[in-house]
Structure 1
Amino acid sequence: MPVENQIANKLLAHYDAQARSLPWRSPPGAPPADPYRVWLSEIMLQQTTVAAAAPYFERFTKRWPTVEALAAAEDADLMAAWAGLGYYARARNLLATARAVAGKGFPDTEAGLRELPGIGGYTAAAIAAIAFGHRAVVVDANVERVVARLFAIADPLPGAKPAIRAAADSITPDGRAGDFAQAMMDLGATICTVRAPACLACPIHEHCAGYVSGDPTAFPVKAAKKARPVRHGTIFWLERGKDVLLVRRPDKGLLGGMRALPTGSWGDSPPGLAGAPCDVGWHAVEPVVTHVFTHFELRLALVAGTSEKHCKMQPGWEWWPKDRIGQAGLPTVFAKAASIFGRDG
């Protein structure tokens, strides 16, 4: 039997015995899961751990059990439900896709899936394999690590990605496509981990060139990281009686469409009170809030003030009860700030 077939068979046998139980997953050998649940989970898992995504998945599927129910959701309700999961463009794309497929179902091909908002190459392949049983080469970060070690691919990332994909293609079987994709994901998540991989527990370690080399953690080879740039801004906590001012961020851009505390613009140096929503007596609150996004680090000074009179309200502004701020669906960076302002008050 060709070694590629041996690898696939051993992985599937291991998956049959050791598959993780996840809320969006069908058991090994069972019919594929509902495409809606597969798609929803894959969107939530983009740049997010299983542990973080699982409770959101449970809440979403309880509140919106079908893609038609999700398509009918109010934008603000969905964005609030997504709060804390990060990468908020995913939530906007979630609604756009739900509304595009409601009533007619998901396309069952990689090409058709890639035409939907927020679905790239990996996600399309994962849905095609897991929800529809089509053979597809599914390579996420865990699979990338497994394959790079299995074949000792020495080219540094990201340049090594085509070689990793080709190697993954060579071991992907024609049958049980979804189970194989999930077997590879599980292997990377539980055994072939970034640090201290449990090689002797791996069902394919005897075929692994990285293991034979004596240093499997040398793969995949990663290029040196560039320093992450730092940006600065100010968060304004404006009280009026028992309420605090919240704003709706513009639909386009970072944290688009989310409720938030007011901020000025973000720039290369601290902007002070520029962009304050009202002309009141502001005072500084410690500490500065730091939040790391994918491409930059954001440092936000905190200032608080009280509005004795009504501020001139702008579109998208609202006064929100301070004692219900946890229900506003604030993104994590603003939730951090709100907790500090609450302690300060």
Structure 2
Amino acid sequence: MTLPRIALDAMGGDHGVRVMIEGAALARRRHDRFKFLLVGDEERIKNALDNHPNLRGASEILHAPEAVSGDEKPTQALRRARKTSMGLAIDAVKKGNAGAAVSAGNTGALMAMAKLSLRTMPGIDRPALAALLPTLGETDMVMLDLGANTDCDARNLVQFAIMGAAYSRIATGLAEPRVRLLNIGTEEIKGTDSLRDAADKLRKADERLALTFGGFIEADKINRGDVDVVVTDGFSGNIALKAVEGAARFVTDLLRNAFQSSLRSKVGFLVSRPATELLKHHLDPNNHNGAVFLGLNGIVVKSHGSANAKGVANAVAVTARLLEEDLIDRISADLARGTETPAAGRAK
């Protein structure tokens, strides 16, 4: 299958052009159908491509004289959108010169530019940032919103559930992903009015959409493997995500310190190394890199700013899969099957 080319913001991320190009080259080696529009400083991109002839032959360079800084306010970045690598990458999607855009740059600026340029899909009030997180189950879970919207009403949360379920079906292959709302308790009386209202709408929805609504879930249960889509507002979602990532780093560092504490511990590390390597792989954010802005008239994927080449390659792979599986068409179809308020679900 020939994929539309992917516009890559080569100037985004903590490590700059070199790692972004290395990541694209790695993705290209894994899947030779990938083609790229590399956006950024032309001279620096050409220099980086010298080490990656496999990528050079599958890429076109679009020069951008400026880049968005990590601490730049979205309003400031918007004014420079037509000159920056991030803005031009998104514009390429809008104009049909690329099928999707990937950036490891400033999240707020990326959201603002993408929303202004691509607009939201019919039936969607606000886009949401969704990512895959590891679980103890057989598949990863989708969590949204992770920071695009700090304050959400019930209608927003129901729309997030629809979009998250569509993404989950692509990412996991599940026919009816299990959807729950993040809350401070599982009882129906718990939570804000918006949460309870959203839950009521999802419980009462008809069975025309492929998802299973299971009520509320608490933050300490989201990685157990009992849920496929966790829905929340961007404020709570971002805090929960950072807490999960922090806990993962804490466990990794704790094990490292424990195994270095004595000679006996070092011997124990050698014996248990296969298990610890598996744990390290499972907790490495680079292996789950690539968050997507759902609800836009175009695919925009956010890579971790600190991602290494493997992480960038995984973000590209996520992008390609969303293109292959027609994510936007799937969400549109689910919304069309909805009722007066876009909602769906089957309580089981």
Q: TM-score range by the shorter chain?
A: under 0.3
When normalised by structure 2's length, the TM-score is 0.22
Greater share of helix: 2
Q: State the structure with bigger RCO (CA 8 A, min sep 6), 1 or 2.
A: 2
- Structure whose alpha-carbon radius of gyration is higher: 1
